[in-house]
Homo-oligomer: A and B are copies of this chain.
Protein backbone atom coordinates (compact mmCIF):
# COMPACT_ATOMS: atom_id res chain seq x y z
CA UNK A 1 0.00 0.00 0.00
CA UNK A 2 2.83 2.33 0.84
CA UNK A 3 4.31 1.68 -2.60
CA UNK A 4 1.04 2.56 -4.22
CA UNK A 5 0.78 5.83 -2.38
CA UNK A 6 4.14 6.99 -3.70
CA UNK A 7 3.22 6.25 -7.28
CA UNK A 8 -0.41 7.30 -7.26
CA UNK A 9 0.43 10.80 -6.20
CA UNK A 10 1.63 11.66 -9.69
CA UNK A 11 -0.95 12.90 -12.13
CA UNK A 12 -0.38 11.36 -15.56
CA UNK A 13 1.00 13.76 -18.15
CA UNK A 14 -1.72 12.83 -20.65
CA UNK A 15 -4.35 13.89 -18.14
CA UNK A 16 -2.82 17.19 -17.04
CA UNK A 17 0.69 18.06 -18.14
CA UNK A 18 1.06 21.08 -15.86
CA UNK A 19 -0.03 19.11 -12.81
CA UNK A 20 2.20 16.19 -13.80
CA UNK A 21 5.14 18.61 -13.95
CA UNK A 22 4.39 20.04 -10.51
CA UNK A 23 3.97 16.55 -9.07
CA UNK A 24 7.33 15.38 -10.43
CA UNK A 25 9.10 18.46 -9.13
CA UNK A 26 7.61 17.97 -5.67
CA UNK A 27 7.73 14.16 -5.38
CA UNK A 28 11.28 13.89 -6.70
CA UNK A 29 12.11 16.42 -3.94
CA UNK A 30 13.65 18.93 -6.32
CA UNK A 31 11.76 21.95 -5.02
CA UNK A 32 9.88 23.19 -2.00
CA UNK A 33 7.69 26.27 -1.84
CA UNK A 34 8.44 29.08 0.61
CA UNK A 35 6.55 31.86 2.31
CA UNK A 36 7.69 34.30 -0.40
CA UNK A 37 5.51 33.83 -3.46
CA UNK A 38 7.50 32.83 -6.52
CA UNK A 39 10.69 32.07 -4.56
CA UNK A 40 11.60 28.40 -4.20
CA UNK A 41 13.88 26.22 -2.16
CA UNK A 42 16.05 24.16 -4.48
CA UNK A 43 16.33 20.99 -2.41
CA UNK A 44 19.47 18.81 -2.35
CA UNK A 45 18.20 16.49 -5.10
CA UNK A 46 17.54 19.50 -7.34
CA UNK A 47 20.64 21.42 -6.41
CA UNK A 48 22.87 18.42 -7.10
CA UNK A 49 21.62 18.50 -10.71
CA UNK A 50 22.48 22.20 -10.86
CA UNK A 51 25.98 21.48 -9.52
CA UNK A 52 26.57 18.92 -12.27
CA UNK A 53 25.32 21.41 -14.85
CA UNK A 54 27.54 24.15 -13.43
CA UNK A 55 30.65 22.01 -13.31
CA UNK A 56 30.39 20.72 -16.86
CA UNK A 57 29.30 24.01 -18.41
CA UNK A 58 31.93 25.96 -16.49
CA UNK A 59 34.63 23.62 -17.80
CA UNK A 60 33.40 24.24 -21.34
CA UNK A 61 33.42 28.00 -20.73
CA UNK A 62 36.96 27.94 -19.38
CA UNK A 63 38.20 26.02 -22.41
CA UNK A 64 37.14 29.02 -24.50
CA UNK A 65 39.00 31.46 -22.22
CA UNK A 66 36.17 32.56 -19.95
CA UNK A 67 37.12 33.78 -16.45
CA UNK A 68 34.68 33.96 -13.55
CA UNK A 69 34.11 37.06 -11.43
CA UNK A 70 31.48 38.40 -9.07
CA UNK A 71 29.67 41.73 -9.34
CA UNK A 72 27.28 43.24 -6.79
CA UNK A 73 23.62 42.26 -6.62
CA UNK A 74 22.48 45.90 -6.37
CA UNK A 75 22.14 48.37 -9.24
CA UNK A 76 21.55 52.07 -8.46
CA UNK A 77 18.49 53.36 -10.29
CA UNK A 78 20.55 55.93 -12.20
CA UNK A 79 22.90 53.22 -13.49
CA UNK A 80 20.02 51.04 -14.68
CA UNK A 81 18.66 54.02 -16.61
CA UNK A 82 21.77 54.69 -18.66
CA UNK A 83 20.80 52.52 -21.60
CA UNK A 84 17.31 53.44 -22.77
CA UNK A 85 16.05 50.20 -24.31
CA UNK A 86 17.51 48.17 -21.48
CA UNK A 87 15.78 50.07 -18.70
CA UNK A 88 12.46 49.95 -20.57
CA UNK A 89 12.82 46.18 -20.81
CA UNK A 90 13.63 45.57 -17.17
CA UNK A 91 12.45 48.41 -14.93
CA UNK A 92 8.82 47.19 -14.77
CA UNK A 93 9.86 43.88 -13.22
CA UNK A 94 12.60 44.62 -10.69
CA UNK A 95 12.59 44.50 -6.89
CA UNK A 96 13.56 47.79 -5.23
CA UNK A 97 15.60 48.22 -2.08
CA UNK A 98 14.69 51.52 -0.45
CA UNK A 99 16.08 51.16 3.07
CA UNK A 100 19.44 50.06 4.47
CA UNK A 101 19.24 49.34 8.18
CA UNK A 102 17.02 52.02 9.74
CA UNK A 103 17.70 54.61 7.05
CA UNK A 104 16.05 55.45 3.79
CA UNK A 105 18.54 55.32 0.93
CA UNK A 106 19.27 58.50 -0.99
CA UNK A 107 18.92 56.56 -4.22
CA UNK A 108 16.99 53.34 -4.45
CA UNK A 109 18.74 50.19 -5.64
CA UNK A 110 17.27 47.41 -7.69
CA UNK A 111 18.19 43.79 -7.15
CA UNK A 112 19.89 42.80 -10.42
CA UNK A 113 17.52 41.30 -13.00
CA UNK A 114 20.65 40.92 -15.20
CA UNK A 115 24.01 42.67 -14.94
CA UNK A 116 24.80 44.44 -18.22
CA UNK A 117 24.84 47.84 -16.53
CA UNK A 118 27.16 46.68 -13.74
CA UNK A 119 29.60 45.05 -16.15
CA UNK A 120 29.58 48.23 -18.23
CA UNK A 121 30.36 50.31 -15.16
CA UNK A 122 33.22 47.93 -14.37
CA UNK A 123 34.61 47.76 -17.91
CA UNK A 124 34.59 51.55 -18.03
CA UNK A 125 37.06 51.43 -15.11
CA UNK A 126 39.38 48.67 -16.24
CA UNK A 127 39.51 48.95 -20.02
CA UNK A 128 41.89 51.61 -21.29
CA UNK A 129 43.99 50.03 -23.99
CA UNK A 130 43.63 47.35 -26.66
CA UNK A 131 45.91 45.34 -24.33
CA UNK A 132 42.98 45.14 -21.87
CA UNK A 133 40.80 43.42 -24.47
CA UNK A 134 39.06 41.13 -24.83
CA UNK A 135 37.37 40.95 -21.44
CA UNK A 136 35.62 37.59 -21.26
CA UNK A 137 33.93 37.35 -17.88
CA UNK A 138 31.14 35.26 -16.45
CA UNK A 139 29.36 35.04 -13.14
CA UNK A 140 27.24 32.36 -11.50
CA UNK A 141 24.67 34.09 -9.34
CA UNK A 142 21.00 34.60 -8.62
CA UNK A 143 18.85 37.26 -10.25
CA UNK A 144 15.40 38.63 -9.48
CA UNK A 145 12.51 39.46 -11.79
CA UNK A 146 9.19 40.26 -10.22
CA UNK A 147 7.07 37.94 -12.38
CA UNK A 148 3.31 37.70 -11.85
CA UNK A 149 2.87 34.06 -12.85
CA UNK A 150 5.51 31.70 -11.49
CA UNK A 151 6.32 28.00 -11.94
CA UNK A 152 9.14 25.96 -10.39
CA UNK A 153 12.34 26.28 -12.48
CA UNK A 154 10.50 27.72 -15.48
CA UNK A 155 9.63 31.13 -14.14
CA UNK A 156 10.40 32.24 -10.63
CA UNK A 157 11.00 35.59 -9.02
CA UNK A 158 14.50 34.60 -8.03
CA UNK A 159 16.47 32.13 -10.10
CA UNK A 160 20.03 30.92 -10.48
CA UNK A 161 21.93 31.40 -13.69
CA UNK A 162 25.20 32.27 -15.28
CA UNK A 163 25.63 35.48 -17.17
CA UNK A 164 28.65 36.03 -19.42
CA UNK A 165 29.57 39.58 -20.36
CA UNK A 166 32.35 40.34 -22.79
CA UNK A 167 34.00 43.39 -24.34
CA UNK A 168 35.95 43.31 -27.60
CA UNK A 169 38.02 45.61 -29.78
CA UNK A 170 36.00 44.97 -32.93
CA UNK A 171 32.46 44.24 -34.05
CA UNK A 172 33.70 41.02 -35.67
CA UNK A 173 35.20 39.74 -32.42
CA UNK A 174 31.95 40.46 -30.58
CA UNK A 175 29.84 38.68 -33.19
CA UNK A 176 32.22 35.70 -33.17
CA UNK A 177 32.00 35.39 -29.35
CA UNK A 178 28.19 35.71 -29.44
CA UNK A 179 27.97 32.79 -31.84
CA UNK A 180 30.71 30.79 -30.10
CA UNK A 181 28.78 30.81 -26.83
CA UNK A 182 25.53 29.86 -28.56
CA UNK A 183 27.33 26.84 -29.99
CA UNK A 184 28.67 25.99 -26.52
CA UNK A 185 25.10 26.04 -25.20
CA UNK A 186 23.84 23.86 -28.04
CA UNK A 187 26.63 21.35 -27.51
CA UNK A 188 26.05 21.31 -23.77
CA UNK A 189 22.29 20.85 -24.12
CA UNK A 190 22.69 18.01 -26.59
CA UNK A 191 25.66 16.17 -25.12
CA UNK A 192 25.03 16.64 -21.40
CA UNK A 193 21.30 17.23 -21.02
CA UNK A 194 20.36 15.10 -24.06
CA UNK A 195 18.10 17.90 -25.28
CA UNK A 196 18.25 18.58 -29.03
CA UNK A 197 17.98 22.25 -29.94
CA UNK A 198 17.28 24.51 -32.89
CA UNK A 199 19.90 27.23 -33.17
CA UNK A 200 18.84 30.51 -34.67
CA UNK A 201 18.36 34.22 -34.39
CA UNK A 202 15.48 35.98 -32.68
CA UNK A 203 13.36 38.40 -34.67
CA UNK A 204 13.66 42.07 -33.80
CA UNK A 205 10.46 41.86 -31.76
CA UNK A 206 11.84 39.07 -29.57
CA UNK A 207 15.32 40.55 -29.16
CA UNK A 208 16.86 41.23 -25.75
CA UNK A 209 16.46 44.80 -24.45
CA UNK A 210 19.43 46.75 -25.81
CA UNK A 211 20.84 44.08 -28.15
CA UNK A 212 21.47 44.43 -31.89
CA UNK A 213 21.20 40.66 -32.33
CA UNK A 214 19.92 37.89 -30.06
CA UNK A 215 20.61 34.24 -30.80
CA UNK A 216 18.77 31.42 -29.12
CA UNK A 217 18.64 27.68 -28.65
CA UNK A 218 15.06 26.41 -28.69
CA UNK A 219 13.91 23.04 -27.42
CA UNK A 220 10.61 21.21 -27.72
CA UNK A 221 8.97 19.81 -24.62
CA UNK A 222 6.98 16.61 -24.32
CA UNK A 223 3.68 18.49 -24.57
CA UNK A 224 4.74 20.19 -27.80
CA UNK A 225 5.51 23.57 -26.26
CA UNK A 226 8.77 25.37 -26.94
CA UNK A 227 11.33 26.30 -24.30
CA UNK A 228 13.90 29.00 -24.94
CA UNK A 229 16.87 27.28 -23.31
CA UNK A 230 19.71 29.76 -23.67
CA UNK A 231 20.36 33.09 -25.37
CA UNK A 232 23.42 34.96 -26.58
CA UNK A 233 23.31 38.67 -27.38
CA UNK A 234 25.46 40.97 -29.46
CA UNK A 235 25.17 44.55 -28.20
CA UNK A 236 27.34 46.22 -30.79
CA UNK A 237 28.70 49.40 -29.22
CA UNK A 238 25.36 50.67 -27.91
CA UNK A 239 26.11 50.06 -24.24
CA UNK A 240 29.69 51.28 -24.73
CA UNK A 241 28.36 54.57 -26.03
CA UNK A 242 25.84 54.91 -23.24
CA UNK A 243 28.45 54.14 -20.57
CA UNK A 244 31.51 55.65 -22.25
CA UNK A 245 33.61 52.48 -22.48
CA UNK A 246 36.49 53.50 -24.73
CA UNK A 247 39.97 52.20 -25.38
CA UNK A 248 43.05 53.37 -27.22
CA UNK A 249 43.57 51.03 -30.14
CA UNK A 250 46.87 50.02 -31.76
CA UNK A 251 46.42 52.88 -34.23
CA UNK A 252 46.30 55.25 -31.24
CA UNK A 253 42.66 56.12 -31.84
CA UNK A 254 40.02 56.16 -29.13
CA UNK A 255 37.29 53.61 -29.90
CA UNK A 256 34.21 52.15 -28.28
CA UNK A 257 34.27 48.47 -27.28
CA UNK A 258 31.79 45.96 -28.71
CA UNK A 259 29.98 43.84 -26.19
CA UNK A 260 28.09 40.58 -25.77
CA UNK A 261 26.20 38.77 -23.06
CA UNK A 262 24.89 35.22 -22.80
CA UNK A 263 23.12 33.17 -20.20
CA UNK A 264 21.42 29.97 -19.18
CA UNK A 265 19.56 29.33 -15.96
CA UNK A 266 17.95 26.76 -13.67
CA UNK A 267 15.15 26.87 -16.23
CA UNK A 268 17.17 24.17 -18.01
CA UNK A 269 16.22 21.81 -15.18
CA UNK A 270 12.58 22.45 -16.08
CA UNK A 271 13.48 21.56 -19.65
CA UNK A 272 15.22 18.38 -18.54
CA UNK A 273 12.05 17.28 -16.77
CA UNK A 274 9.65 18.15 -19.58
CA UNK A 275 11.78 16.46 -22.26
CA UNK A 276 12.69 13.20 -20.55
CA UNK A 277 10.50 12.35 -17.58
CA UNK A 278 7.49 10.04 -17.52
CA UNK A 279 4.50 9.07 -15.41
CA UNK A 280 6.71 7.28 -12.86
CA UNK A 281 8.71 10.42 -12.18
CA UNK A 282 12.01 11.90 -13.17
CA UNK A 283 14.21 10.43 -15.89
CA UNK A 284 17.71 11.92 -15.83
CA UNK A 285 20.43 11.61 -18.46
CA UNK A 286 23.39 9.89 -16.76
CA UNK A 287 25.71 12.90 -17.13
CA UNK A 288 23.52 15.05 -14.87
CA UNK A 289 22.22 12.34 -12.57
CA UNK A 290 23.48 13.01 -9.03
CA UNK A 291 23.11 9.28 -8.39
CA UNK A 292 23.73 7.16 -11.50
CA UNK A 293 23.24 3.72 -9.99
CA UNK A 294 21.00 2.62 -7.13
CA UNK A 295 21.92 -0.74 -5.67
CA UNK A 296 18.89 -2.26 -4.00
CA UNK A 297 19.55 -5.32 -1.85
CA UNK A 298 16.78 -7.95 -1.84
CA UNK A 299 16.17 -9.78 1.45
CA UNK A 300 18.89 -7.60 2.85
CA UNK A 301 18.84 -9.22 6.29
CA UNK A 302 20.03 -12.52 4.83
CA UNK A 303 23.69 -13.16 5.40
CA UNK A 304 26.04 -11.69 2.84
CA UNK A 305 23.52 -9.54 0.97
CA UNK A 306 24.55 -6.14 2.32
CA UNK A 307 28.20 -7.14 2.08
CA UNK A 308 27.72 -8.01 -1.58
CA UNK A 309 25.92 -4.71 -2.19
CA UNK A 310 28.88 -2.86 -0.67
CA UNK A 311 31.23 -4.92 -2.80
CA UNK A 312 29.34 -4.00 -5.97
CA UNK A 313 29.47 -0.34 -4.98
CA UNK A 314 33.23 -0.65 -4.61
CA UNK A 315 33.44 -2.24 -8.08
CA UNK A 316 31.57 0.78 -9.46
CA UNK A 317 33.65 3.48 -7.84
CA UNK A 318 34.05 5.37 -11.14
CA UNK A 319 30.32 6.12 -11.02
CA UNK A 320 27.98 7.90 -8.62
CA UNK A 321 26.45 4.98 -6.73
CA UNK A 322 24.16 4.67 -3.75
CA UNK A 323 23.24 1.54 -1.83
CA UNK A 324 19.72 1.82 -0.46
CA UNK A 325 19.91 -0.21 2.75
CA UNK A 326 17.07 1.64 4.49
CA UNK A 327 14.34 -0.39 6.18
CA UNK A 328 11.80 0.21 3.40
CA UNK A 329 10.52 -2.61 1.22
CA UNK A 330 12.23 -3.35 -2.11
CA UNK A 331 9.06 -2.28 -3.93
CA UNK A 332 9.11 1.07 -2.20
CA UNK A 333 12.78 1.47 -3.08
CA UNK A 334 12.09 0.65 -6.72
CA UNK A 335 9.40 3.34 -6.87
CA UNK A 336 11.69 5.80 -5.19
CA UNK A 337 14.55 5.09 -7.59
CA UNK A 338 12.16 5.63 -10.48
CA UNK A 339 10.69 8.79 -9.00
CA UNK A 340 14.15 10.26 -8.52
CA UNK A 341 15.26 9.38 -12.03
CA UNK A 342 18.28 7.30 -11.09
CA UNK A 343 19.42 5.89 -14.47
CA UNK A 344 20.27 2.33 -13.41
CA UNK A 345 18.94 0.06 -10.69
CA UNK A 346 20.87 -3.00 -9.59
CA UNK A 347 18.91 -5.66 -7.73
CA UNK A 348 20.90 -8.21 -5.78
CA UNK A 349 19.58 -10.89 -3.44
CA UNK A 350 20.60 -14.31 -2.05
CA UNK A 351 19.67 -16.19 -5.26
CA UNK A 352 21.64 -13.78 -7.43
CA UNK A 353 24.65 -14.08 -5.19
CA UNK A 354 24.49 -17.85 -5.45
CA UNK A 355 24.35 -17.57 -9.25
CA UNK A 356 27.15 -14.96 -9.31
CA UNK A 357 25.09 -12.29 -11.03
CA UNK A 358 22.73 -9.39 -10.46
CA UNK A 359 19.86 -7.74 -12.33
CA UNK A 360 20.23 -4.31 -13.92
CA UNK A 361 17.17 -2.29 -14.86
CA UNK A 362 17.30 0.85 -17.00
CA UNK A 363 15.15 3.74 -15.87
CA UNK A 364 14.27 5.04 -19.33
CA UNK A 365 13.34 1.85 -21.19
CA UNK A 366 12.83 -0.41 -18.14
CA UNK A 367 14.91 -3.02 -19.95
CA UNK A 368 16.07 -5.66 -17.49
CA UNK A 369 19.10 -7.86 -17.87
CA UNK A 370 21.16 -10.29 -15.84
CA UNK A 371 24.82 -9.41 -15.52
CA UNK A 372 27.56 -11.61 -14.03
CA UNK A 373 29.42 -9.77 -11.25
CA UNK A 374 32.68 -9.92 -13.19
CA UNK A 375 31.19 -7.95 -16.07
CA UNK A 376 29.35 -5.40 -13.96
CA UNK A 377 31.63 -2.35 -14.22
CA UNK A 378 31.94 -2.67 -17.99
CA UNK A 379 28.22 -3.20 -18.42
CA UNK A 380 27.31 -0.20 -16.26
CA UNK A 381 29.64 2.03 -18.26
CA UNK A 382 28.17 0.77 -21.52
CA UNK A 383 24.58 1.16 -20.36
CA UNK A 384 25.09 4.69 -19.03
CA UNK A 385 26.67 5.78 -22.32
CA UNK A 386 23.96 4.07 -24.32
CA UNK A 387 21.22 5.62 -22.25
CA UNK A 388 22.77 9.07 -22.65
CA UNK A 389 22.85 8.66 -26.44
CA UNK A 390 19.44 7.06 -26.78
CA UNK A 391 17.75 9.69 -24.65
CA UNK A 392 19.01 12.35 -27.05
CA UNK A 393 17.89 10.31 -30.04
CA UNK A 394 14.45 9.75 -28.58
CA UNK A 395 14.05 13.43 -27.79
CA UNK A 396 15.15 14.30 -31.31
CA UNK A 397 12.71 11.85 -32.83
CA UNK A 398 9.92 13.32 -30.70
CA UNK A 399 10.82 16.82 -31.77
CA UNK A 400 11.09 15.93 -35.44
CA UNK A 401 7.76 14.14 -35.40
CA UNK A 402 6.22 17.25 -33.82
CA UNK A 403 7.68 19.70 -36.29
CA UNK A 404 5.30 20.71 -39.06
CA UNK A 405 5.42 22.79 -42.20
CA UNK A 406 2.80 25.39 -43.07
CA UNK A 407 2.71 27.00 -46.49
CA UNK A 408 -0.31 29.22 -46.12
CA UNK A 409 -2.28 30.80 -43.30
CA UNK A 410 -5.11 28.29 -43.37
CA UNK A 411 -2.70 25.41 -42.95
CA UNK A 412 -0.82 27.33 -40.28
CA UNK A 413 -4.01 27.94 -38.31
CA UNK A 414 -5.16 24.39 -38.72
CA UNK A 415 -1.93 22.89 -37.42
CA UNK A 416 -1.87 25.04 -34.30
CA UNK A 417 -5.56 24.32 -33.83
CA UNK A 418 -5.05 20.56 -33.85
CA UNK A 419 -1.46 19.90 -32.91
CA UNK A 420 1.26 21.02 -30.57
CA UNK A 421 4.82 21.44 -31.78
CA UNK A 422 7.07 23.59 -33.90
CA UNK A 423 5.74 24.92 -37.17
CA UNK A 424 8.16 26.01 -39.84
CA UNK A 425 6.82 28.73 -42.12
CA UNK A 426 8.10 31.50 -44.36
CA UNK A 427 7.95 35.11 -43.19
CA UNK A 428 8.19 38.47 -44.93
CA UNK A 429 10.22 39.98 -42.09
CA UNK A 430 7.59 42.51 -41.09
CA UNK A 431 6.45 42.86 -37.51
CA UNK A 432 2.80 43.35 -38.41
CA UNK A 433 2.61 39.72 -39.53
CA UNK A 434 4.40 38.58 -36.38
CA UNK A 435 1.96 40.56 -34.22
CA UNK A 436 -1.04 39.25 -36.10
CA UNK A 437 0.09 35.64 -35.74
CA UNK A 438 0.75 36.10 -32.05
CA UNK A 439 -2.64 37.68 -31.49
CA UNK A 440 -4.70 35.27 -33.55
CA UNK A 441 -2.93 31.98 -32.83
CA UNK A 442 -1.21 32.66 -29.48
CA UNK A 443 2.10 31.51 -30.88
CA UNK A 444 5.38 33.37 -31.11
CA UNK A 445 8.32 33.29 -33.45
CA UNK A 446 10.90 31.08 -31.74
CA UNK A 447 13.77 31.84 -34.11
CA UNK A 448 15.02 32.26 -37.64
CA UNK A 449 17.09 29.05 -37.70
CA UNK A 450 20.66 29.05 -39.00
CA UNK A 451 19.62 26.14 -41.22
CA UNK A 452 17.23 27.90 -43.53
CA UNK A 453 14.91 26.09 -45.97
CA UNK A 454 12.99 27.56 -48.88
CA UNK A 455 9.53 26.18 -48.11
CA UNK A 456 7.81 28.64 -50.45
CA UNK A 457 8.40 32.11 -51.84
CA UNK A 458 5.78 33.93 -49.84
CA UNK A 459 5.05 34.90 -46.24
CA UNK A 460 2.67 32.48 -44.54
CA UNK A 461 0.70 35.42 -43.19
CA UNK A 462 0.51 38.23 -45.77
CA UNK A 463 1.55 36.45 -48.96
CA UNK A 464 4.21 39.01 -49.77
CA UNK A 465 7.72 37.85 -50.75
CA UNK A 466 9.33 35.85 -47.95
CA UNK A 467 12.69 36.69 -46.44
CA UNK A 468 13.22 34.02 -43.80
CA UNK A 469 11.99 30.68 -42.63
CA UNK A 470 10.89 30.93 -39.01
CA UNK A 471 10.14 28.36 -36.30
CA UNK A 472 6.87 29.17 -34.55
CA UNK A 473 5.57 27.66 -31.35
CA UNK A 474 3.74 28.09 -28.09
CA UNK A 475 6.24 29.09 -25.48
CA UNK A 476 6.78 28.44 -21.79
Contact = CB atoms under 8 A, between A and B. Distances in A.
23 contacts: A32-B125, A34-B71, A34-B121, A34-B122, A36-B75, A39-B72, A39-B73, A41-B69, A41-B122, A43-B126, A44-B137, A46-B69, A47-B67, A47-B68, A48-B67, A51-B68, A92-B101, A93-B101, A95-B100, A97-B98, A98-B99, A100-B146, A100-B157
A74 B122 contact: no
A35 interface: yes
A134 interface: no
A160 B97 CA distance: 19
Contact of A98 (B41, B51, B73, B96): B96
Interface in A324-348: none
A40 B142 CA distance: 16
A97 B105 CA distance: 11
A144 interface: yes
A73 B35 contact: no
Interface in A56-86: 67-76, 79
A109 interface: yes
Interface in A88-115: 92-102, 109, 111
A465 to B, nearest CB: 41
Contact of A67 (B44, B68, B75): B44
Contacts of A102: 92
A475 interface: no
A72 B121 contact: no
A316 interface: no
A323 interface: no
A141 interface: yes
B67 A42 contact: no
Nearest to A99: B96
A118 interface: yes
A97 B96 contact: yes
Nearest to A125: B32
A117 to B, nearest CB: 10
Given A96-B97, A99-B96, A118 B74 contact: no
